[in-house]
A and B are shown apart, each in its own frame.
Chain A
Amino acid sequence: MSDTQAPAIDIQDLHGRYGPSHVLHGINLRVGSGQVVTMLGRNGAGKSTTMRAITGLLASRSGSIKIAGTEAIGLTPEKIAHLGVAYCPEERGIFPSLSVSENLMLPPVLRPGGLTTQEVLAFFPRLAERGRSPGTTLSGGEQQMLAIARILRTGCRTLLFDEPTEGLAPVIVQQIGSVFEALKQRGYTILLVEQNLDFIMSLADHHYVIEHGRVVDQMSNDELSAQPERLEAYLGV
C-alpha cells in the first residue's frame, strides 16, 4: 500500500449491537487498496457482523469506518454501495421468482471497470446453461455461484464475500480461486470470511483473527504459511 493512497477500508474502534446485545467490541482492521484480506474465527465471533457494519446493514454501529478515505459510519447502505463497496452475503439472497439471468442483471452497474456479463459467465459456465431457470430450481451451490457472479458486474472495486466457497464442489472452489486471482490482478480489493484455509492461503495478503467481537491477532500470509499452527489455538483445528 502506498502512503499517498487511503486504505480501501479502514475500521477503528467499531462497536456493533443487535438490539440489547453488544456483539462488536472495538474492531480495528485495515484493508489496503488492492489487497486480499481475510477475517478468521469461530462461528459467532462477529465476522459477518463486521461485514454488515461495513455495508451499513447493521443499524446499531459506532466508531469509524472509512471507505477509501470517506467516513461511512453514518451513511445508508445505498450511499456506501456508491462508494464502490459490493457485498455477497452468506445467505446468498437469490430472488426465487427471478430467473438466473434476471438475478444476474439486477444489481445496477455503479461505475465503469466491472466485469462484462460475458466475462462473468465464462467464469461460471453453469450459470449460462441455467440462464432461464427460475431461482427456486437452482441447487444450493448454483445459488452460491450466482450470488458471487452478481456483484462482479457492478464496477465496485471493494468486494466483501461471506463464505464464498460454502456448498461448492472442489472444482468450483478452484475456479473461484482463479476468479479472485484475476480480480486481484486487476487491482480489486477483497475482504473475505472463509473457513477453507487452503483456499485463502493461496490468495490472501493478510489475515485478522476475530474472537468475541474483537481482533485478537493478525498476521501476514507469509507469517501464516510459516506457522499455520498459530491459528490452531483460535480455531481449535
Chain B
Amino acid sequence: MIVPDPSQGDWIIEARGLSRRFAGFMAVKEVDFRVRRGHIHAMIGPNGAGKTTCFNLLTKTIETSGGTIWFNGKDITQMAPAQVAQMGMVRSFQISAIFTTLTVRDNVRVALQRARGTSFKFWRSDRMLDELNERASGLLEDVGLADEADMVAGDLSYGRKRALEIATTLALDPELLLLDEPTSGMGLEDVALTSALIKRVARNRTVLMVEHNLGVVAHLADRITVLAGGTVLTEGNYAEVSSDARVQEAYIGRKKAKA
C-alpha cells in the first residue's frame, strides 16, 4: 500500500490517483495533488475542469471512484464528511450557504455552538451565551461585519453574505479551509476586502481555494495547480503557470492576465 512520505515535506493534504466518474463521464481522473501546510494554494482551470468535484472529493461531500486521500498523514478516503470536518477540514460553497432569516450574529453563533457541540442546549447559562457572543463579535470584526451584526443576514449584499459565510466556516477554527470561488459575483470593492480577509485568516492556517479572478490568485497564492479536463495540467507559482503556453491556451486566453 502506498503511503505519503513525510520526509518530502509537510503536506497537510495529499491525494493520489483521485478519480470520480459521473454517469459515463470522468469528471476527475487519476489526479495526484498535495498542499503544503501554511500555504495559500489555488486551483484554477477551465470551466468543467473538475475543480469543484476535486473539492467535493477532498471534503468527502461525494464519494471517490478511485484513489486515496490523506489528511495530516491519515487515510480519510472512507470517512464521512462530518468526521473530516471535525478533523479540521472545512469548506465553503460556490453558492452562498447562510441562514437568511437569522441575524448576522446568530449565523456565527450557530456555527460556534456547532463547533463546541453545544447546539440545542437551550438551558445553558447566560454566561456561556455571553462567551459565545464575544467570540462571534471577534469573528465578525475579522471579516469586517461588526457594524452589520444585528442585521438580518438575508438583507446583506451578495459580497457581504460571502464574508459572513467565511466567518461561519472560521467559527469551526479549521486547520485547512477550502474556499470555492470566494470572490465570485462580487463587486470590485468586495473583491478587495475578501482578498485581504483571506490573506489575514491564512496567517495561522492552510487555505485551498478555487478562484477565477487571476488578480486575486496572483496576489494571494503561494502555489497554483492548474486542472484541465479532469487532470492536472501543471503546478507552480503564478509566474510559472501564467507563462506556460498550455495554461494560456486552455485557461488564460490570448490576453496576458494582469497581476
Interface residues of A (CB under 8 A from B): 41-44, 90, 126, 130, 133-134, 137-142, 144-145, 163, 166-174, 195, 197, 235-237
Contact = CB atoms under 8 A, between A and B. Distances in A.
Interface in B200-259: 212, 214, 249-255, 257
Given A130-B48, A141-B47, A167-B47, 14 more contacts: A43-B159, A43-B160, A43-B187, A140-B52, A141-B48, A163-B185, A166-B185, A167-B212, A169-B46, A170-B214, A170-B252, A171-B249, A172-B47, A236-B188
A167 B181 contact: yes
Interface in B48-73: 48-49, 51-53
Contact of A169 (B22, B25, B212): B212
B97 to A, nearest CB: 14
B157 interface: yes
A45 B254 CA distance: 33
Interface of B: 22-23, 25, 27, 44-49, 51-53, 94-95, 157-160, 181, 184-190, 192, 212, 214, 249-255, 257
The 6 tightest CB contacts between A and B, nearest first, are A141-B47, A171-B253, A43-B157, A236-B189, A44-B157, A174-B253
A144 B46 CA distance: 13
Contacts of A174: 253-255
Given A43-B159, A142-B48, A170 B212 contact: yes
B46 A140 contact: no
Contacts of B188: 195, 197, 235-237
A235 B189 CA distance: 7
B46 A171 contact: yes
Contacts of A43: 157-160, 186-187, 190
Nearest to A136: B22
Given A167-B184, A235-B189, A142 B255 contact: no
Contacts of A166: 184-185
Given A43-B186, A137-B25, A236-B189, A126 B48 contact: yes
A168 B186 CA distance: 13
8 contacts: A43-B158, A139-B49, A140-B181, A141-B46, A141-B212, A163-B185, A170-B212, A174-B253
Contacts of A170: 212, 214, 251-253, 255, 257
B159 A169 contact: no
Nearest to B185: A166
A166 B186 CA distance: 9
Contacts of A134: 23
Contacts of B44: 169
B232 to A, nearest CB: 16
A176 to B, nearest CB: 11
Given A126-B47, A137-B23, A142-B47, A167 B190 contact: no
Nearest to A140: B94
Nearest to B229: A129
A41 B250 CA distance: 31
Contacts of B181: 140, 167
A133 B212 contact: no
A139 B157 contact: no
A99 to B, nearest CB: 11
A235 B23 contact: no
Nearest to A171: B253
Nearest to A167: B184
Given A137-B22, A139-B52, A167-B212, A172 B187 contact: no
B189 A237 contact: yes
A115 to B, nearest CB: 20
B144 to A, nearest CB: 13
Contacts of A41: 187
A142 B94 CA distance: 13
Nearest to B247: A171
Contacts of A235: 187-189
A42 B46 contact: no
Nearest to A236: B189
Nearest to A129: B48
B212 A145 contact: no
A206 B184 CA distance: 25
A195 B188 CA distance: 7
B251 A169 contact: yes
A167 B94 contact: yes
A168 B192 CA distance: 19
Among B94, B181, B189, the most chain A Cβ lie within 10 Å of the Cβ of B189
A79 B22 CA distance: 40
